[in-house]
Amino acid sequence: MIEPIQDWLQQHELIAQLSYVSGLLFAACLLYFATRWVLLGGVRRFAERSETVWDDALVDNGVLGRLAHIPPALLVYYGVAFFDQLDDTLALLVQRVAFSLLIVVAARAITAFLSAANTIYDATPENRSKPIKGYLQVVKIALYLVAGLLVVATLMDQSPLLFLSGIGAMTAVLLLVFRDTILSLVASVQLTGNDMIHVGDWIEMPAYGADGDVIDVALHTVKIQNWDKTITTVPTHALIANSFRNWRGMSESGGRRIKRSLYIDLSTVRFLEPDEVERLAEWSMLSDYIGRKRAEIESYNSDPARNAGVNADIRRLTNIGTLRAYIEAYLRAHTSIHKGMTLLVRQLQPSELGLPIEIYCFTNTTAWNDYEGIQADLFDHLFAILPELGLRAFQSPAGSDLSGLTSKRTPHESP
């Protein structure tokens, strides 16, 4: 019974060899699913119960799933040696393919491990200010290049050194192909070394239409989520070649600047009358200022050389100067204004828009919503207080202002 089968196998040697290789591949597939079930199933359950971060990172980045390819590849590589009748050329081909697969799987597993390492590194808040993702991507690229070189050398049964000797002649081509990678690597080193950008920083880069938070710093690109929730992708080397504004200093300082002007109608600027001075002296924000200015003005005007009947010869309180004093006192008493940072109220050069009174101060919070609310409340109050000082905010004439004007009819016009 056995001898006819052996005779048939000898007569159909190629069919027998292909059947053995097919069976070996089928066994490798079964081993792959078994290994994957053990590694992913068992380790995933362990990771879910564990409180550590590293095991979750390994599972989420697919390290174990890629390692599951190694036992089947080893089975095929060593399995061909147990069948003596297998053709040497076919056996060598199968082993080369299996070994090449081992190289590719090992490279992919290592890159997945590097991704997991980056996840573990970023899990520590102190490390987020110094991302290593760009460096790991360089290592991954180098690893894939080496793996590709080894695969080609294995399939062609040549020494890898033979291929390395030809790389020198291809340097110019490699520099051209990997130009962006080299530029990005240098830029990543400079960005990290000089502490220029972190994930979470608010940066503004008008050249690329970017204005928002940095959400990812990679080797080739930096992703910025704008305030309208769109994503702008900027080349990493562009952050070195072009200027950008980083608002991190503002966030770390604990105060956010208010720099805005009140434009006063110049026709309303005048001296204060005595009764107005008496009324304003009752304001708690102005009582010290008016008392101090009264003494200063009386001392100045008491000079016999002064003519009290001529306004140009004596000093008097003005409503615009009193406004500046009031605004400064109001800011210093405001609970939401930072007292440890610059605070000033200054008068800028008049223009066709009126007289600018600039308020320059800092809030004691950097939260955008709170900052806008504080700024709005501040100017709401200041606009409302202007009439109390006999002042008016400047406003260009609108259509409703001009609609009341009527043109005079010339004598020769018909009715």
pLDDT tens column, 138-188: 788 788 888 888 888 877 777 766 666 656 556 666 666 677 777 777 777
Calpha distance 217→137 (Å, rounded) = 11
Least confident residue range of 5-14, 154-163, 277-286, 347-356:
5-14
pLDDT of residue 414: 47
Residue 210 domain-assigned (yes or no): yes
- Do 263 and 225 lie in a common domain? no
CATH number of the domain that 232 lies in? 2.30.30.60
pLDDT of residue 303: 79
> What six digits make up the tokens of 263?
């434009």
3-state secondary structure of 258: strand
Kindly tell me if the per-residue pLDDT of 34 is higher than 60. yes
What torsion do the CA atoms of 163, 165, 166, 167 make, to the nearest 10 degrees? 90
- Do 42 and 127 lie in a common domain? yes
- Do 226 and 276 lie in a common domain? no
> Would you place residue 1 in the very low, low, confident or very high pLDDT band (cuts 50, 70, 90)?
very low
Calpha distance 103→108 (Å, rounded) = 9
What single string gives the DSSP state of each residue in 105-161?
HHHHHHHHHHHHHHHHHHTSGGGTTS--HHHHHHHHHHHHHHHHHHHHHHHTT--HH
- Do 235 and 282 lie in a common domain? no
Residue 308 domain-assigned (yes or no): yes
Residue 413 domain-assigned (yes or no): no
What order do you get walking across the sheet with 245-246 strand by strand?
Answer: 231-235, 221-226, 210-217, 202-205, 245-246
Least confident residue range of 191-195, 244-248, 331-335, 342-346:
191-195
Residues 6 or more apart in contact with residue 269 via CB below 8 angstroms: 318, 319, 320, 355, 391
pLDDT of residue 10: 55
- Do 124 and 266 lie in a common domain? no
Show which of 125, 145, 165 is a domain's final residue.
Answer: 165
Residue 403 domain-assigned (yes or no): no
Q: Highest mean pLDDT range out of 52-66, 288-302, 344-358?
A: 344-358
> Would you place residue 267 in the very low, low, confident or very high pLDDT band (cuts 50, 70, 90)?
very high
Residue 159 domain-assigned (yes or no): yes
Residue 189 domain-assigned (yes or no): no
- Do 26 and 161 lie in a common domain? yes
Over the chain, what is the mean pLDDT?
80
Calpha distance 351→242 (Å, rounded) = 35
- Name the percent of the chain lying above pLDDT 90: 30
- Do 284 and 205 lie in a common domain? no
Residue 65 domain-assigned (yes or no): yes
- Do 67 and 109 lie in a common domain? yes
- Do 270 and 390 lie in a common domain? yes
> What six digits make up the tokens of 230?
């769109």
- Do 112 and 213 lie in a common domain? no
- Do 201 and 328 lie in a common domain? no
Residue 400 domain-assigned (yes or no): no
- Across 11-20, average pLDDT: 62
Q: What angle do CA 311, 313, 318 make, to 5 degrees?
A: 50
First and final C-alpha spacing in the chain: 131
Provide the residue range defining the domain that includes 330.
Answer: 256-395
> What six digits make up the tokens of 187?
């830029």
Kindly tell me if the per-residue pLDDT of 134 is higher than 80. no
Calpha distance 286→327 (Å, rounded) = 10
pLDDT of residue 358: 96
- Do 235 and 280 lie in a common domain? no
Calpha distance 180→187 (Å, rounded) = 10
Q: How many domains does the chain have?
A: 3
pLDDT of residue 415: 45
User: What are the tens digits of pLDDT across the range 56-100?
Assistant: 677 777 777 777 777 777 777 777 766 666 666 777 777 788 888
User: What are the tens digits of pLDDT across the range 172-230?
Assistant: 666 666 777 777 777 777 777 677 888 888 899 988 889 999 988 887 889 999 988 99
Sign of CA dihedral 185, 191, 194, 200: negative
Strands (E), 183-230: 202-205, 210-217, 221-226
> Would you place residue 328 in the very low, low, confident or very high pLDDT band (cuts 50, 70, 90)?
very high
Show which of 113, 143, 165 is a domain's final residue.
Answer: 165
